[in-house]
């Protein structure tokens, strides 16, 4: 078994390398992905080893990058697009929503569009404006797109390969504040389904459901609550579209309470969809209303204020206390 401890960013690099070695049709395209290796060095060394024809430094034009990737996919390639920062994806939103998401369905499945769009997202790194957004709900709302986000290096490694192998377009949200978090990666493992949630910590009193950067925060909350005798279950959703509602239901039927946590604003966020569905499914099991913790309904603030904006241990614990008080 090939088990190695690596950072999440390195796991993505290793996953891209493996996918490119296995299939000559896999390409990487984006701003500064080649010679620089990406602003976070996630694609470091790939152009040197695979050449400029497969690791392509693009112009600063997100719509052109995605449009080119669509054309490549129609010609049989499997392009992996890197959007340099979350806030830069919006110039390409039209291409993604009106073309990429719809062609596969309009062609009744005869046209494959195996495009992966990697987006470093979320805050916590003290970045300037337009570099700390969490736009996942905008894409999860669009039929025809799959949206996933790993929280561990192991998931980053395997979920990216699964996304590349998928014939459907996948938006791959990478939690940039977790790029340097390390964990064990078994490159010989047999991964579970791409859109299946996992229980990151067993518990009995309340379920914390999260994805991406907030999974680690929820694990810290569960550890703090355990010191006071409260048992919290942490469910890593892993996928925002589709959502593994069966896994959430199983957990809530056991614990009777649910708090959904994400960095994106609570207003019209993915937590609202989860709350509504679980209230329908688990009405007679719930001991309290489903609560949500997330960002505020305001533009992302300057770096010096982001800790006031982002969910943290205290804000999540407050929601846990309110749910347990019912």
- pLDDT tens-digit series, residues 138-171: 999 999 999 999 999 999 999 999 999 999 999 9
The DSSP code for 257 is -
Task: Using CB atoms within 10 Å of the CB of residue 257, give its burial: 0 to 12 exposed, 13 to 18 middle, 19+ buried.
Answer: buried
Encoded tokens for 306: 């982001």
Q: What is the pLDDT of residues 54-67, one digit of tens each?
A: 999 999 999 999 99
192 falls within a domain: no
Q: Residue 2 pLDDT > 90, yes or no?
A: no
Q: Compute the distance between CA of residue 96 and CA of residue 142 in angstroms, rounded to an integer.
A: 9
Choosing from 161, 186, 211, the residue where a domain stops is 186
Q: Residue 205 pLDDT > 90, yes or no?
A: yes
- Residue 6 has φ and ψ, to the nearest 5°, of -150, 160
Distance between start and end Cα atoms, the chain: 47
For residue 212, name the pLDDT band (cuts at 50, 70, 90). very high
Domain span including residue 263 = 198-324
Q: Compute the distance between CA of residue 152 and CA of residue 178 in angstroms, rounded to an integer.
A: 8
Domain count, the chain: 2
Q: Residue 1 pLDDT > 60, yes or no?
A: no
Residues facing residue 120 across a β-bridge: 174
Which among 148, 174, 214, 10 is positioned nearest to 83, based on CA atoms? Answer: 174
Residues 157/162/163/169 CA torsion (nearest 10 deg): 180
CATH number at residue 266: 3.40.50.920
Sheet holding 206-210, edge to edge: 198-201, 232-236, 206-210, 258-265, 291-295
Choosing from 186, 206, 222, the residue where a domain stops is 186
Q: What is the pLDDT of residues 28-47, one digit of tens each?
A: 999 999 999 999 999 999 99
| 178 in the same domain as 43 | yes
| 315 in the same domain as 277 | yes
CATH number at residue 148: 3.40.50.970
| 25 in the same domain as 170 | yes
Residues 6+ apart with CB under 8 A from 90: 62, 135
In the chain, % of residues over pLDDT 70: 100
For residue 208, name the pLDDT band (cuts at 50, 70, 90). very high
Q: State the average pLDDT over residues 201-220.
A: 98
For residue 109, name the pLDDT band (cuts at 50, 70, 90). confident
| 264 in the same domain as 297 | yes
Predicted TM-score (pTM) of this structure: 0.96
Which among 168, 172, 30 is positioned nearest to 111, based on CA atoms? Answer: 168
| 246 in the same domain as 119 | no
Question: b/e per residue, 156-186, with b = 16+ CB within 10 A?
Answer: bbbbbbbbbbbebbbbbbbbbbbbebebebe
| 94 in the same domain as 9 | yes
- 40, 181 in Cβ contact below 8 A? no
Which ranges of the chain does DSSP label H, i.e. alpha helix?
A: 8-22, 46-50, 62-74, 93-94, 101-106, 136-140, 153-165, 214-226, 245-255, 270-281, 306-309, 313-324
- Return the pLDDT at 179: 98
- Return the pLDDT at 105: 81
Choosing from 186, 217, 234, the residue where a domain stops is 186
| 232 in the same domain as 152 | no
| 209 in the same domain as 179 | no
Q: Find the catalytic residue in 104, 131, 195, 262.
A: 131
| 221 in the same domain as 178 | no
Is residue 131 annotated as part of the catalytic site, yes or no?
Answer: yes
Cα dist from 102 to 5, 106, 145, 163, 252, whole Å:
39, 6, 9, 18, 34
């Amino acid at each position: 078994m090939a088990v190695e401890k690596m950072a999440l960013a390195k796991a993505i690099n290793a996953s891209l390398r493996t996918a490119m070695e296995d299939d000559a049709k896999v390409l990487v395209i984006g701003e500064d992905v080649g010679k620089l290796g990406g602003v976070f060095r996630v694609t470091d060394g790939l152009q040197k080893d695979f050449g400029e024809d497969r690791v392509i430094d693009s112009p600063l034009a997100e719509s052109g990058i995605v449009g080119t990737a669509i054309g490549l996919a129609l010609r049989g390639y499997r392009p992996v697009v890197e959007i340099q920062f979350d806030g830069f994806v919006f110039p390409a939103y039209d291409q993604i929503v009106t073309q990429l998401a719809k062609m596969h369905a309009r062609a009744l499945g005869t046209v494959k569009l195996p495009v992966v769009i990697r987006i470093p997202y979320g805050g916590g790194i003290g970045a300037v404006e337009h570099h700390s957004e969490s736009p996942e709900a905008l894409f999860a709302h669009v039929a025809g797109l799959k949206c996933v986000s790993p929280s561990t290096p192991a998931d980053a490694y395997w979920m990216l390969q699964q996304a590349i192998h998928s014939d459907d377009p996948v938006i791959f949200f990478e939690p940039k504040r977790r790029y340097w978090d390390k964990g064990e990666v078994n490159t010989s493992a047999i991964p579970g389904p791409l859109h299946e949630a996992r229980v990151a910590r067993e518990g009995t009193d309340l379920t914390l459901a999260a994805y991406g950067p907030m999974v680690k925060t929820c694990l810290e909350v569960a550890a703090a609550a355990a010191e006071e005798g409260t048992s919290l279950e942490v469910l890593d959703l892993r996928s925002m579209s589709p959502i593994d509602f069966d896994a959430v239901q199983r957990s809530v039927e056991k614990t009777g309470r649910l708090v959904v946590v994400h960095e994106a604003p609570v207003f019209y966020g993915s937590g609202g969809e989860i709350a509504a569905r679980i209230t329908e499914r688990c009405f007679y099991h719930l001991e309290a209303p489903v609560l949500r913790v997330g960002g505020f309904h305001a533009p992302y603030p300057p770096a010096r204020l982001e800790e006031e904006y982002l969910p943290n241990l205290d804000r999540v614990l407050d929601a846990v206390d309110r749910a347990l008080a019912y």
